[in-house]
Copies of this chain bind each other. A is one copy, B any other.
């Protein structure tokens, strides 16, 4: 059983939101030795203890991280830098840190120089989430069948990367891939940030609220679900990856302009060609 690998692990989760809470629930189900959590919100910690999804909650990270083999940072990108700076002398020797943030390059460059020698930070990105915030919306199901990306760097030990890979597969992720950090941020600007930019812009161009509710079907609901967005987190992700995101938006703008031009010109054959191409592409996606 692969699960036996994890029964000695002591783990601290920092930030018990949707993702942190989902990690806690998943790790408890794997019977790891300890799941501790750090959060600024008392109620969240009490709730998590009562639910039995953590062994103990802390407002200060000093105590749990000194005993932890693995620390999972489920906080905003900028907070990660602050966290490392604040606690750099408290980590256990040979412990592993990992994160869940949606953009990587800038943060890896900022974090690696301030990281203690004895700690290995394996940067990770679970491609999963919910549009609603907070532990109440966390669940093991969030991760089932989802993609996980790891952006290794030359400081990382192979065995530590492997541990993260095995752990997240055991939690229910379907595929874990190792990708170059620049490529990660470039493709993610297309698959993650651009869809959010589109959803926000679509709903913000509504001129018929509130009666719009009578005129919508599944497609509009789906295309706007993520327009309900955590403004602080996504502002960081957008601004932190703008060098990639801006050209992606422009590529998309070109494509929708092309479609519009075919409409204006009444070019049915060209329009159908776009539809055939999009259908072919969508059928390939799992």
Report which A residues bind B (CB closer than 8 A): 127-129, 146-147, 149, 175, 177, 179, 184, 187-188, 190-192, 194-210, 212-232, 234-235, 238-239, 242, 245-246, 248-260, 263-264, 266, 268, 271-272, 274-279, 281-286
- Give the distance in Å from the alpha carbon of A209 to the alpha carbon of B277 in the complex: 13
Q: Considering the complex, give the chain B residue whose CB is closest to the CB of A242.
A: B263
CB distance from A237 to the nearest CB of B (A): 11
Find out whether the CB atom of A217 lies under 8 angstroms from the CB atom of B192: yes
Q: Considering the complex, give the chain B residue whose CB is closest to the CB of A234.
A: B275
Task: Knowing that A204-B255, A228-B279 touch, tell me 20 more A-B residue pairs with CB under 8 angstroms.
Answer: A147-B217, A149-B214, A187-B215, A190-B207, A199-B223, A201-B259, A204-B278, A205-B255, A222-B222, A222-B226, A224-B281, A227-B279, A227-B281, A229-B279, A234-B275, A239-B268, A239-B271, A252-B256, A253-B256, A253-B257
Find out whether the CB atom of B177 lies under 8 angstroms from the CB atom of A214: yes
- The main secondary structure of chain A at its interface with chain B is helix
- Quick one: given A215-B149, A217-B191, A259-B197, are A207 and B282 in contact (CB under 8 Å)? no
Highest count of chain B CB atoms <10 Å: which of A205, A219, A246, A254: A219
10 tightest Cβ-Cβ pairs between the two chains A and B: A127-B217, A231-B275, A201-B255, A227-B278, A201-B256, A228-B282, A200-B278, A231-B272, A205-B251, A227-B282
- Give the distance in Å from the alpha carbon of A121 to the alpha carbon of B271 in the complex: 31
- Give the distance in Å from the alpha carbon of A20 to the alpha carbon of B192 in the complex: 36
Q: A278: which B residues are within 8 A, CB to CB?
A: 199-200, 203-204, 224, 227-229
Q: A248: which B residues are within 8 A, CB to CB?
A: 205
- Give the distance in Å from the alpha carbon of A194 to the alpha carbon of B188 in the complex: 24
Find out whether the CB atom of A208 lies under 8 angstroms from the CB atom of B187: yes
